[in-house]
Amino acid sequence: MAQSFGPTGPQPFPQDWASLLVLVPHPDDPEYGTAAAVAKWTAAGKTVCYALACRGEAGIAGMAAAQAGAIREAEQRRAAALVGVPDVDFWDFPDSNIRNTPELRAKITSVIAEVRPDVVVTIYGGAQFAPDVPNQRDHIEFAAAVADVWDALEDPPRRLFQNGPGATHVEIVDDYLDAAVDSLAAHEVYLSVLDPHTPVREQARAVIDMTCPMLTGRRVAGFILERAADR
């Protein structure tokens, strides 16, 4: 599922901001396409934090939820630290059953109010990543909840992006691909159970190659502008 770009070609990702909040449903969502850009942003002195709706407790086949949740939380904290993100907030919504409910929207609202980011990046909310590659319902509902919250805020963050195909904006990440691979490879137990036959770093490298494609000779992370405040 190589990423495609918008019909008119993407713009450079804006630089006129100081703080960015990555809002996603699951552990490893930030590492599927956003983390390379995060590594670049934090290296430039910007502040990035992550908030996740769940601990990914349903994500390790054959493992009890409590154990899987604890492992995935620890792996996510390491993955974040590797790209300069010390702050990871885990909520307790149920993995695989994340829905656009009033409770989820209230949590998103309170975290945005607390962090007061200039920019929010969330998960891709489209029906499919590519023809025959459907998106997950947790992603679609979570992305819709974030947009609903943004629309209801009197004083929303300046911009809301999704990370995914059909990018309107790109960040050049040539120098941050290794950091992105390290960050995804921190999900070591998760990835080694997901695909026991391929070494974790090899899996991580393949995902970063897919999610940070080449655009006019540069490797980029792609983002879709969903909302912009007029101010």
User: Would you say the C-alpha torsion 19, 22, 27, 28 has a positive or negative sign?
Assistant: negative
Q: Measured from the CB atom, is 115 or 140 closer to Zn ion?
A: 140
Q: How far is the CB of 115 from Zn ion (least distance, A)?
A: 21
**Exactly one of 26, 40, 72, 159 binds Zn ion (CB under 5 A); which one?**
26
Q: How far is the CB of 104 from Zn ion (least distance, A)?
A: 15
**Exactly one of 10, 29, 100, 170 binds Zn ion (CB under 5 A); which one?**
29
Give the number of other Cβ atoms within 10 Å of residue 210's Cβ: 14
The C-alpha atoms of residue 50 and residue 28 are separated, in whole angstroms, by: 11
The C-alpha atoms of residue 38 and residue 220 are separated, in whole angstroms, by: 12
Q: How far is the CB of 23 from Zn ion (least distance, A)?
A: 12
Q: How far is the CB of 29 from Zn ion (least distance, A)?
A: 4
| 217, burial (CB in 10 Å: exposed 0-12, middle 13-18, buried 19+) | exposed
| Stretch of 5-13, 18-26, 85-93, 148-156 contacting Zn ion, by CB under 5 A | 18-26
Q: Does 95 bind Zn ion (CB under 5 A)?
A: no
Q: How far is the CB of 26 from Zn ion (least distance, A)?
A: 4
| Stretch of 25-33, 42-50, 79-87, 90-98 contacting Zn ion, by CB under 5 A | 25-33
Q: Within 13 A of 44's CA, how many CA atoms are on the CB side? A: 18
Q: Measured from the CB atom, is 10 or 33 closer to Zn ion?
A: 33
Q: Are 179 and 230 in contact (CB under 8 A)?
A: no
Q: Within 13 A of 64's CA, how many CA atoms are on the CB side? A: 2
Please give the size of the binding site for Zn ion, defined by CB under 5 A: 2
Q: Measured from the CB atom, is 29 or 75 closer to Zn ion?
A: 29
Q: Are 210 and 4 in contact (CB under 8 A)?
A: no
Contact residues for Zn ion (CB under 5 A)? 26, 29
